[in-house]
Structure 1
Amino acid sequence: MVIASSSLLLLMSLAFWHTCAGGQDHCAAAAVNLSSIEAAVRDRAFQLFRRTSEIVDVPVLAGAGVEASATRVRSNALWADGVNATAAGFAVPPRVVPAPFARRVAIVFVRFLGNSSFSSSLFAAPAGYKLAAPVVGLLAYDASGPNGELALRALGAPVRIEFRDLSPAKGFNATTARCLTFAAGGGKAVATHAVEPGPSCVVSGTGHYGVAVHVETPPPPPPPVKERWWVWKVGVSAGGVAAASFLAISVAGAVRWSRRRRREEMERRAMSGEELGRMAVRGSRIPSAKMVRTRPEVEDGSPPPWRKS
């Protein structure tokens, strides 16, 4: 009965999410409950388990954007041999213990596909980065009792998660990429570390993980041509007014300076004229020219007497 109710809850959540996905991200984030989806995947996986250490594909809902694989192992086998499920996308090394302890452990691996809006609506990359691959969830449950959630503690080599969708042939650059660890229940990334060859991410245990690549911030767009033309128009008008004012002031100053120079020249010439001589006439001294510059001439044209020969 628990399995049926969880599956029904998953179907209702996904159906409601598809109804809101047409541009209302806040509706999608509110409708889709990450824990309820993973609980439905867990219950479906328990229904499909047949043999220990067998890896099964967990069908969820066609077109829902979720893929899942699961396996069930004994805790002593998990400690001694680990779980090699690289075909499914993860590998658990030896020397891993469940916490709290359980005799049998169910490990569920969920992928939130990038072609749906799960990764973008439930998980957010840090500023300056974008998700480059579907976010995955590595989960563990008690398979010997109440199906409670467990944590995996690696006391030796770390757990490794493979991201098969990333490859240098598709333009993936590991030097600009970062492995992300998301908060419980989805949300923003709380830790980042370098991407390992594969490409893969080494993680401490259960949780939600992803890979993000750095994106360049686009430069601000140039101002519209109309606004730039308005700026140029104002600048040219102001420059024209300033130039005209300067020219008028310069012409007025030149005219005043020219008039003053002519006046000073006239005064200088007047002050530096030839001085007249002095002569005594009946006890008085009056100005007298030192020489006659123009000889008197008779008006009838006859030469003066002193010029007759």
Structure 2
Amino acid sequence: MLLYPKFVQATDQDSLNSVIYDYASKNIPKPRTGKMYEVSDLPSNLSGIEASIIRLRTSRLWKNGINFTSFEIPPKILPQPFTRRVDIVYRNLGNRSRNYYGVPNHTLVAPVIGFLAYDSDAGPTNHGRLVQLSVRGDHVDDHIIVRFRNIISVVGMKCVRFDSNGTFGLSELTVESSCLASGEGHFSVVVPNYDRLDKNEEKRVTISRWIIGLILSGVMGLVFIIGVMVYRLVKWKKVKEMEKMSERSEALDTIWIGNSKMFSASGIRTPPVIENTYVP
């Protein structure tokens, strides 16, 4: 009888996936093709996680697809790299979802569920080799359907897919509380943390107001400077026009009064005219 450790260290997603597949392979060394097996006796520190495994021939997967637990894989999907048989391992992380997955400024409202495909024909040296099950078409019927049960739709709810490289993507939830996927991976449903979003939005609004205020102040200052320059230019043109008009008319002398230069005309006295020559 083989004994397996009751406690293993699975600190990240990759190690968790490896542990689950290793336990599935050891507990079910020769699974029958097309039959679903539950993976029992997981380590004690992984209690609450549900896992199952099914082995399929590639020809059957291509012809019929498969519908199991929370996933529906459509027909005409081939594993890459190609292999004659695949082991599809399903897992539901349950209350341990937040220990391994999360989205900034969002809260998980459904457990993280997922599936990965492995090469069943890989030898001991390639044990645990992953293969990809990617859809080929863009139509809705060509996608993998991920179903979430017992969730209540709320405003802002999104599907999230966690990729093996640590990235994630958000998409819309369908009317049937399902998500559409283009390949294997881990999935859940999230809602925004509105309190954090409101605080961040308030900071952005405050910064935006400061920026707008500075811009408006600069524009008003520029308009004032331009107005003063235009006023002085108009006044200067009027003075020039007056000088030109004075040059075309009678020449006038100029005198200085204090610091001001002013025009002056020389006085001309008109001699009196006697109306008659009678002298008494």
Q: TM-score, normalised by structure 1?
A: 0.54
Alpha-carbon contact 1:174-1:199 (below 8 Å) kept: no
Once the two structures are superposed, the pairs formed by residues 56-75 of structure 1 within 5 Å of their partners are 56-59=37-40, 60-61=42-43, 64-75=47-58
TM-fit CA distance, 1:175:
4.5
Report matched runs for 1:242-281 at 5 Å.
none
| 1:152 equivalenced with 2:128 (yes/no) | no
Q: Does 1:180 align with 2:160?
A: yes
Assess if the C-alpha contact under 8 Å between 1:105 and 1:140 holds in 2.
yes
Letter of the structure 2 residue corresponding to residue 45 of structure 1: A
Question: Offset at 1:41?
Answer: 1.6
Provide the residue aligned with 2:223 in structure 1: none
Q: 1:200-243, CA deviations, whole angstroms, 9 ceiling, x for partnerless residues?
A: 111111112211023321778xxxxxxxxxxxxxxxxxxxxxxx
Number of equivalent positions: 186
Change (3 A) 1:216 1:111: same
CA distance in 2, matches of 1:90, 1:183: 17
Counterpart of 1:141?
118
Distance 1:175 1:80, change over 3 A: farther
Tell me if structure 2 keeps the 8 A contact 1:109–1:138. Answer: yes
- Does 2:40 match 1:79? no
Q: Distance in 1 between matches of 2:103 and 2:189?
A: 9
TM-fit CA distance, 1:72: 0.6
Name the structure 2 match of 1:132: 109
Matching residue of 2:85: 104
Q: Is the 8 A contact 1:174 1:195 kept in 2?
A: no
Equivalence for 1:11 = 7
Could you tell me which amino acid in structure 2 is paired with residue 138 of structure 1? F
CA distance in 1, matches of 2:55, 2:155: 36
**In 1, Cα distance between equivalents of 2:103 and 2:12:** 19
> Displacement of 1:193 after TM fit?
0.3
Number of the residue aligned with 1:282: none
Indicate the residue corresponding to 1:162 in structure 2. 147
Runs of 4+ residues over 6 Å off in structure 1: none
Are 2:92 and 2:111, in contact at CA under 8 Å, matched by a contact in 1? Answer: yes
Query: Structure 2 stretches of 5 or more lacking a match?
Result: 200-280
Distance 1:52 1:174 in 2: 41
Are positions 1:41 and 2:20 aligned together?
yes
Take 1:184 and 1:50, find their aligned partners in 2: how far apart are those partners? 26
Offset at 1:174? 5.1
2:99 counterpart (85, 100, 121): 121
1:33–1:192 CA distance, 2 compared to 1 (3 A)? closer
Shift of residue 178 of structure 1? Answer: 0.5
Cα distance in 2 for residues equivalent to 1:140 and 1:103? 12
Asked whether 1:193 is paired with 2:175, we answer: no
**How far does the alpha carbon of each residue in 1:7-41 deviate from its partner, in whole angstroms, 9 at most, with x for none?**
53x7222xxxxxxxxxxxxxxxxx62332222222
One-letter amino acid of the counterpart of residue 110, structure 1: R
Query: Quick one: structure 1 residues 121 and 45, their matched pair in 2 at CA, closer, same or farther if it must change by over 3 Å?
Result: closer
Paired AA for residue 189 in structure 2? V
Give the distance between the partners of 2:67 and 2:189, measured in 1 at CA.
Answer: 21
Q: Are 2:31 and 2:55, in contact at CA under 8 Å, matched by a contact in 1? A: no
CA contact (8 A) 1:181 1:192 kept: yes
Partners of 1:52 and 1:175 in 2: CA distance: 43
Once residues 165 and 41 of structure 1 are traced to their aligned partners in structure 2, the CA distance between those partners, rounded to angstroms, is 26
Between the aligned partners of 1:155 and 1:175, the Cα distance in structure 2 is 32
CA RMSD of aligned residues (A): 2.5
Give the equivalent residue in structure 1 for 2:265: none
Please report how far the alpha carbon of residue 61 of structure 1 lies from its aligned counterpart in structure 2 after TM superposition: 4.0
Higher gyration radius (CA) = 1
Q: Quick one: which amino acid aligns to residue 16 of structure 2?
A: I
- 1:120 aligns to what SS in structure 2? helix
How far 1:139 moved relative to its partner?
0.3
